[in-house]
Structure 1
Amino acid sequence: MIKDVRSYIHTVGNRLSKAFSMEAFGTEQQLEFWELSAEHLSRKRSPSFSDIVNWMDLLYRAPVHFVYRLQDGKLVLDRRHVLTKNILRDAGNELEPHKQTPQQKEYLKDFEYQLQNLEKKMSMDEVFKEQGITSHSIGQCEHIPLFKKDGEQWGIYCAGPYTKSPDQITPKLSIVGRLLANWLITLDEEESNPQREYEQKIENVVSDLGSGQLNTEGIAQIILRYVVHGRKVASGCIVEFTPNGHKLLVSVGMKEKLAGYFTAGADKALYENKGGELKVTEFGQEFLKQWGKQVDVEYFTGEHHSGFLMVEKTEGSGKLDIENLLKEVGLSFANLFDYRHKNENFSDQLMDGYYKMLRAIEKSREKTRFHTPRMVAFVQRFGMFFGLEDDEMEIITKTAKLHDIGYVGAISIEPGKTIGGELSHPIIGANMVEHLSIDKDVLEGIRTHHEWVNGNGSPSGLNSETIPWTGKIIGLFEFVVDFVESNAGDDSKTNDEWLELLSRNLMERADIEFDMVLIPTAIQLLQALGWQECVRLGVEE
């Protein structure tokens, strides 16, 4: 093994040979550090990023390791890894979350705040071009410059927060940097996507979840187009009877004003479901008489839902057997609605199971004990202040409830993941539910709730134009709830001072992390609630 190390030394110059002398290190830990480097150097394949992190962990015992690549004059976040066991350590041993000293709680609060606000991009600084170790304001991390063989700056390796390299290692950081650069550059060349290995693990898990979702509207559109175009009728529509009234699923060739009658209130509805039969309303009789068109209507009913299919016939279509076709189509829709109802019930039950698993994870830590119920409570109140419609309130509430379920999948992929420690949970969570019966806005809100409007968020670096409204609202209140959880019970400030600080933090992040349109209403909500009510929200689930 030592031969492999010395072989590498000769490739970078004999002047570095003394730096690798095993006698220079006085601890078994440092011996292991260099032995592992020899093992990696002797491999035919490059070490994975998790291998590199474990190697660097011997030096720093840091909770976060990440790499910034230099691209177009900017340092862009390329890889990251969280070692949750290093968040709190006492003489090298992990501590129970509820047995923390005040100093440790403050350390943890700072760490989670920095992790929550880790930027995807930052400006290149002259200090990063220096050989040796540097520091940056992000979490007071140590940064090791990474250079290509020709001396060109490639990026930086960061470990933190609040780390300091051992004195024995400091003179040898240039060699550590060379090793890291060699491994990371090779690894980057081998992988088209820096997250490919981990995302492949995700894909291997979620690809076996199956697909149970049918797009009822999409199927209705295809069938109705066939009826209208294939049977030469002028127009048509499919309407569902729901507890909230009529719902126009789809229409083809029908003018907007006419289609609007199928979603109108009961006083202007054309048809109604009366005693399990389709009846023309008095308004409908008068309207159809004035309209003067020949129509065929087929009522269909399933176990739980019913509706009707209506077509406006033409002279050419009158000669075709429209009635039999509509009966067959109606039967298909009755079966489809029954399937959809059962699928929705199954999806709700499964997502409720995911939620209970998430709550078990959250309750294992004091800080996150009320995290998701608090999120739900905040967004519901925000929705009322902001004036969201009933269906929008339902969507944002479900998004808040499910936004962090990716942690359930993360633990199934790699044990040891914790709330705040798993940075790919938005993708995992979205993949877990995308095949279920769930609104698209809920799905995309789960996927994008850690994106920033300036494009510096994660996991995809989306900007304001491509982040859905659900992701923007959940992302904002993720920050609010994290702030409340970090400072609940802290008497170092008055209630008004905590509210002022939170409001100021939101304003500072407007049009950077959060959509400015949401900020005034969010601050108005916080002021109406007061600090103590913010702390109490969600406690009684």
Structure 2
Amino acid sequence: MKDVKSYVQTIAKRLGSAFSLEDFELEDELEFWALAAEYLSRSDSPKFHETAEWMDILYNAPVHFVYLKDEKGKLKLQHRSVLTENLESKFSLSKLNSTERSEKVAQFERRLDNLEKRVVISEEMKEMGGASFPIGHCHRIPLFNEDEFCGMYCTGPYVENPSGIIPRLSIIGRILSKWLTECDKQDAKTETTGRGLEEELSSLESEGLEITGYANVLLGHLTGVKGAESAALVDLSEPKVVAKANMADNFVANIQYFDGDKESVEDLTDYLEDQLDLHDGEDQLVIEPLNTLSPSVFLVLTLKGEQKETFKSSVNYDVIIETLLQLLRYQDQNKHITSRITETYYQMLREIEQKRDKTAHHTDRVMALCNAFGDYFGMGEEEKENILMTAKLHDIGYLSLRQNAKKRTVGSDLEHPVLGYKLVRHLSLNENIKQGISTHHEWVDGSGTPNGIEGDEIVWTGKVVGLFEFIAQFIESNKGNDSKTGEDWLDELTSMLIERADIQFDMILIPTAVEMLNDFSWNDLCELGEGT
């Protein structure tokens, strides 16, 4: 076989002839079609970063991005590639001093972050031409799948079509449509990135146990078959009812308000006899401590008076107690494993963040902001703990994004909340934490990612962490920038929050967030989380 270079050049010439191209006069154009020929000769379509590199031969653009039609009939930002070398030349950064350079880059990053994640399809999008985006004026090439509009390829800002290529833009559009729709199908087939890490954790799904369901079955046997009036498994360390059978509706609330010695059978007996009004009735309370890692776990039974002496010696009672103990030991072990895994996730994420100055303190900053907000908002202890754990783990989905920066695309970045959820879904964590990780990039108006849910569909933890990640990113983008005073930066930040209320953020959060920010100086905010 001929060498690869010769083969590609031959294919390129045939491709040029097939497309009725004029003789190649520009080296760039020859390279462009030769690379197209190489990609077309493959069995698999090129990856997005390869497509962007191909298109950049024509445009030398800082940003290439793609919107593809989603199942809801909107265009979703699916891919994005930033070519920093083009950013340098496009904005003549070498001619600026360090302060001007930092401000220019920070301004561009803010605009890039503001690219709409979802847009409504218009007729204009189906035509070739220019379009206005937050980063500036970009060139747009519509994409079609079997003559149906399916998206658009955009590149910019401030680029022009090479004059010799304009007649062939429709051909380029057809090639892009083929590659990008096939790339999208491949992404869906492989569930984007992170599959390897998810598969490593998939065994947790089969090994994980939700002990409440099993305990309810065992307690149901104590009441339904063995004749106990009611039964409950309680853990006073939180305090909570782990499982119950035939217990009064107010029993859960009674346990939650218990404030006695959490390891004392006597204190719990006195409290429940009073709450359940068992002092003079026929029913008698029997409380048995279960010897697990926690000395505050008890089996609570109400029995008829004549049952009390014989119930514990009845058939299978010991077997049921031993099984409850095994379940509780599993739960204790599961909590320990969960704590170890989540802390490891956090340390791994911090290692990734510390590779860039801008993100070196990102997670700790979000946690510190959420912690301060919890105090201002008057959150209870458990609510605040859930918010802080969500903040600690909100970006762990990036652990699954193993491509290098050049290969990473917005399609995978937008999925990091979903990937993060998959990394914790089988762990012993509060469900609000798991859902908060999954929803922290959703907007209350439904234009967020990854699922476009809105309003009350977004859990409270996701709303709070999403707000303070936005604030942290604003701080990180402008920290050390002396082009404005600290007071000006704070005014800009609070104005942005107010403008985005009931669009990106829940209105309920904004007054307290603004009050909190006004109590901080800009320097204090910039240092928040950096001492962790």
| Residues 126 and 247 (structure 1), Cα distance of their counterparts in 2 relative to 1, 3 Å cut | closer
Query: In structure 1, how many angstroms separate the alpha carbons of the residues matched to 2:40 and 2:181?
Result: 14
Q: How does 1:153-302 map to 2 (within 5 A)?
A: 153-161=149-157, 163-166=159-162, 169-170=165-166, 172-185=168-181, 191=185, 195-197=187-189, 199=191, 201-209=193-201, 210-211=203-204, 213-242=208-237, 246-266=239-259, 273-274=263-264, 281-284=269-272, 287-302=277-292
Partners of 2:97 and 2:233 in 1: CA distance: 61
Q: Distance in 1 between matches of 2:407 and 2:220?
A: 49
Q: Shift of the alpha carbon at 1:471?
A: 0.8
Q: Displacement of 1:358 after TM fit?
A: 1.6
Q: For residues 266 and 390 of structure 1, what CA distance do their matches in structure 2 show? A: 15
SS at 1:24's partner residue?
A: coil
Residue 39 of structure 1 aligns to a residue whose secondary structure is helix
- In structure 1, distance between residues paired with 2:439 and 2:64: 23
Cα distance, 1:498 vs. partner?
1.6
Give the TM-score normalised by the residue count of structure 1: 0.82
Contact kept in structure 2, 1:299 and 1:308, CA below 8 Å = yes
**Structure 2 counterparts to residues 323-402 of structure 1, below 5 A:** 323-324=313-314, 325-402=316-393
Structure 2 CA distance for partners of 1:53 and 1:232, relative to 1, 3 Å: farther
Matched with 2:488 is 497
**Structure 2 CA distance for aligned equivalents of residues 52 and 289 of structure 1:** 78
Q: Kindly provide the amino acid, as one letter, of the partner of residue 456 in structure 2.
A: E
User: Conserved in 2, the CA contact under 8 Å of 1:216 and 1:336?
Assistant: yes
The verdict on how the C-alpha distance between 1:311 and 1:511 changes in structure 2, with shifts beyond 3 A counting, is: same
- Tell me how far 1:528 sits from its aligned partner: 1.6
1:68 is matched with 67
Deviations 1:308-359 (A, max 9, x none): 2223346998999664444333322333333322332232223222222222
2:5 matched to which residue of 1?
Answer: none
Distance 2:227 2:481 in 1: 72
Shift in CA distance, 404/45, structure 1 to aligned 2, threshold 3 Å: closer
Q: 1:205 to 1:408 in 2, by over 3 A?
A: closer
Inter-partner Cα distance in structure 2 for 1:116 and 1:70:
20
Unaligned regions of 5+ residues in structure 2, if any? Answer: 1-7
Q: Please say if residues 309 and 326 of structure 1, whose CA atoms lie closer than 8 Å, have aligned partners that are also in contact.
A: no
Q: RMSD of the alignment, in Å?
A: 3.7
The aligned counterpart of 1:121 is 118
Higher deviation after alignment, 381-390 or 58-67: 58-67
Change in CA separation of 1:79 and 1:279 when aligned onto 2, cut-off 3 Å: closer
> Structure 1 259/540 Cα, relative in aligned 2: closer, same or farther at 3 Å?
closer
Stretch moving more, 1-10 or 314-323 = 314-323
For 2:69 and 2:326, locate their aligned partners in 1 and report how far apart those are by CA, in whole Å: 57
Q: Deviations over 1:344-401 (max 9, x none)?
A: 2232223222222222222222211221111111001111111211001111111111
Greater Cα shift, 469-478 or 429-438: 429-438
* Structure 1 counterpart of 2:27: 26
The answer on whether the counterparts of 1:510 and 1:516 sit within 8 Å (CA) in structure 2 is: yes
Q: Counterparts of 1:226 and 1:174 in 2: how far apart (Å)?
A: 72
* Secondary structure of residue in 1 paired with 2:20: helix
2:301 match: 311
Q: Which deviates further from its counterpart, 530-539 or 169-178?
A: 169-178
**1:506 Cα offset (Å):** 1.0
Q: Contact between 1:247 and 1:263, CA under 8 Å: does it hold in 2? A: yes
Match of 1:513 among 504, 508, 529: 504
Look up the match of 2:79.
Answer: 80
Cα distance between partner residues in 2 of 1:447 and 1:513: 16
Code of the residue aligned with 1:203 in structure 2: it is R
Q: Which residue of 2 aligns with 1:537?
A: 528
1:47-58 correspondence runs (5 A): 47-58=46-57
Bigger shift: 146-155 or 449-458? 146-155
Note if contact 1:73-1:123 (Cα within 8 Å) is conserved in structure 2. no
Q: Which residue of 2 aligns with 1:144?
A: 140
Distance 1:169-1:86 versus aligned 2 partners, 3 A rule: farther
Q: Secondary structure at the match of 2:445?
A: coil
The aligned residue for residue 112 of structure 1 is 109
Q: What are structure 1's unaligned runs of at least 5 residues?
A: none
Contact 1:128–1:134 (CA under 8 A) maintained in structure 2: no
The separation in 2 between residues aligned to 1:44 and 1:449, in whole angstroms, is: 38
**Which stretch of structure 1 is more off in the superposition, 428-437 or 158-167?**
158-167
The answer on whether the counterparts of 1:362 and 1:419 sit within 8 Å (CA) in structure 2 is no
Q: What is the distance in 1 between the residues matched to 2:145 and 2:385?
A: 56
Indicate conservation of the 8 Å contact 1:114/1:139, yes or no.
Answer: yes
Letter in 1 for 2:400: G
Q: Deviations over 1:508-534 (max 9, x none)?
A: 111211111111111111112232221
The answer to which structure, 1 or 2, has the higher relative contact order (CA under 8 A, 6+ apart) is 2
Q: How has the CA–CA distance of structure 1 residues 186 and 346 changed in structure 2, closer, same or farther, with 3 Å as cutoff?
A: closer
Alpha-carbon shift at residue 75 of structure 1 (Å): 4.9
Which AA in structure 1 matches 2:115?
L
Conservation of the 8 A alpha-carbon contact between 1:361 and 1:419: no
Alignment of 1:419-498 (within 5 A): 422-498=413-489
